[in-house]
Structure 1
Amino acid sequence: MELNTTKAITDSWFYRLRENLSIDVAIAGTGPSGLIAALRIAQAGFKVSMFESKLAPGGGMWGGAMLFSSVAIQTDAVRILDELEIKYQSYENNDYEGLVTCDSVLATSALIYHASKAGVVIHNGMSVEDVVFKNNQVAGVVVNWGSVVREGLHVDPLSVRSKIVVDATGHPCEIAETVANKNNIKLNTPSGKVLGERSMDADKGEAETVENTKEIFPGLYVCGMAANGVSGSPRMGPIFGGMLLSGEKAAKLIIEELNDKK
């Protein structure tokens, strides 16, 4: 039994890896914006893999607000909650300025489940430490075990080729930083570099999360808090409507590009 268990697990895992070494879209980070982007792109028939350095996908949504397992969603994004069958609490007389609240664990679980069900491959425990850079464009991701990266061990990585890479790493916008710093290139930002996230302004931050979702270099898109970090916009706290809408916008732009390349 022990040997058969090991064989079954390794065979299935390596088969999945081999089948996803060349894909349409690679997404670094698995927060809510990345998950919605992955879901929509997979629903459009494209091959998507996500890479999460920690064990659990879901990003910061798990923790709710300061470990209160509740998050706020603008009514503009409630249709997504309805689609994914995420229960939420609405309020009479618009007491909370067009917000609903939902359980952070339920919401995060639902996003992960629906993305996986749509065919998105989620590699947990695997970190994107660099990109493949060819012909002056981003052409894939360079991956290693999350634990190897955290320990700072000198272990060479592997690579996954993709037509498009998405930086959904949240506040640090790690992929955009790496691409700009290593390759001496200009990003699609006012300074050509990563501007860095500003202090909290929820109204402005929520709107600009969607506005800043775009292609910042050939082959490289940003969504969610990574989009705000790259473009120098504020953080917004435990409000996730902008995250979800940002993911949808990223997916729309990417699907259009992939269809144009067919």
Structure 2
Amino acid sequence: MSLDEVMVTKAIVEGYLESFLENTEVEAALVGAGPANLVAAKRLAEANIKTVLFEKRLSVGGGLWGGGMMFPRIVVQQAAIRILEEYGIRYHEHCKGYYVANSIETVAKLTARAIDAGAQIVNLVTVEDVMIREQDRVVGLVINWTAAEMAQIHVDPLCIRARYVIDGTGHEASVCRVVARKIPGAIIGIDGVKGEKPMWAEVGERTVVEMTQEVYPGLVVAGMAAAAVCGGPRMGPIFGGMLQSGEKAAGIVIENLNK
């Protein structure tokens, strides 16, 4: 059989558009494909919740790829070891209570399991706004190509309808910042996003999970975005709390969708 370049083009465009159109109305739309949202995406899809995850960059994984200062290793504490084992991520105990995993393996397996569960991941798409309706609730996302944003050219966006949105955009907390800017005082009763405190890994590991919550009707915050919104400390290349945050965010959405 001969290979026709135009047929290759048609296969790619038609295949992408079919998937894109299928995910313009979902139950859960996640923004930012870092560790928290990769875990959340798998949990949601396993619960038969129609889930799409948008990442503005070419690659997924957020801060996981680089490990600590470009040494591709991360540390996970005992409480999150069960998550590594669930995903088949190998680890070893460096010393008591400090478990080390390969950051590249971690990204690959978190991503693969989310896709295997049925979540759709869309890269190179930026969320620039949200849709809020009369009931004062986030009901969807306004999206555009990341390339258009980077080129600073005016291209009108498209929209995704969702019953729940999870902001997992890391330090930027970009979805929450949009809501805080347009509706002052809306995000968990504070005027704006507090921003992160200085690094304190022990406290940050705990509070990133505690701060994972619904911060505005229809909008849940997870991972380092939760720390940025609520003023929690950063914790560096220690990722157990991030993984647990994703579990909690998915649980909040599942519980509310099942009411």
CA RMSD of aligned residues (A): 1.0
Shift of 1:185: 4.4
Structure 2 residue runs without a partner (length 5+): none
- Cα separation, 2, equivalents of 1:130 and 1:113: 28
- Cα separation, 1, equivalents of 2:165 and 2:188: 15
- Cα separation, 2, equivalents of 1:252 and 1:40: 8
Structure 2 match to 1:179 = 179
Determine if the alignment matches structure 1 residue 124 to structure 2 residue 123. yes
* TM alignment of 1:234-253, pairs within 5 A: 234-253=233-252
The answer on whether the counterparts of 2:163 and 2:218 sit within 8 Å (CA) in structure 1 is yes
Structure 2 match to 1:162 = 162
Structure 1 match to 2:150 = 150
Count residues in correspondence: 255
Helix, strand or coil: the match of 1:100?
strand
**Moved beyond 4 Å, runs of 4+:** none
- Cα separation, 2, equivalents of 1:219 and 1:28: 13
- Cα separation, 1, equivalents of 2:185 and 2:217: 11
- Cα separation, 2, equivalents of 1:253 and 1:192: 24
Structure 2 match to 1:103 = 102
Deviations along 1:83-135, whole A, 9 cap, x unmatched? 1111001145x1xxx12000000001100110011111111011111111112
Kindly provide the amino acid, as one letter, of the partner of residue 187 in structure 1: I
Deviations along 1:215-256, whole A, 9 cap, x unmatched? 000000000000000001110000000000000011111100
Structure 1 match to 2:113 = 114
Determine if the alignment matches structure 1 residue 80 to structure 2 residue 83. yes
Structure 2 match to 1:257 = 256
* TM alignment of 1:1-262, pairs within 5 A: 1-91=4-94, 94=96, 98-135=97-134, 136-189=136-189, 191-260=190-259
After alignment, is 179-188 or 239-248 more displaced? 179-188
The answer on whether the counterparts of 2:196 and 2:227 sit within 8 Å (CA) in structure 1 is yes
Helix, strand or coil: the match of 2:258?
helix
- Cα separation, 1, equivalents of 2:215 and 2:173: 12
Helix, strand or coil: the match of 1:188?
helix
TM-score if structure 1 supplies the norm length? Answer: 0.95
The answer on whether the counterparts of 2:94 and 2:100 sit within 8 Å (CA) in structure 1 is no
TM-score if structure 2 supplies the norm length? Answer: 0.96
Shift of 1:151: 2.1
- Cα separation, 1, equivalents of 2:94 and 2:24: 47
Shift of 1:9: 0.8
The answer on whether the counterparts of 2:194 and 2:228 sit within 8 Å (CA) in structure 1 is yes
- Cα separation, 1, equivalents of 2:252 and 2:98: 27
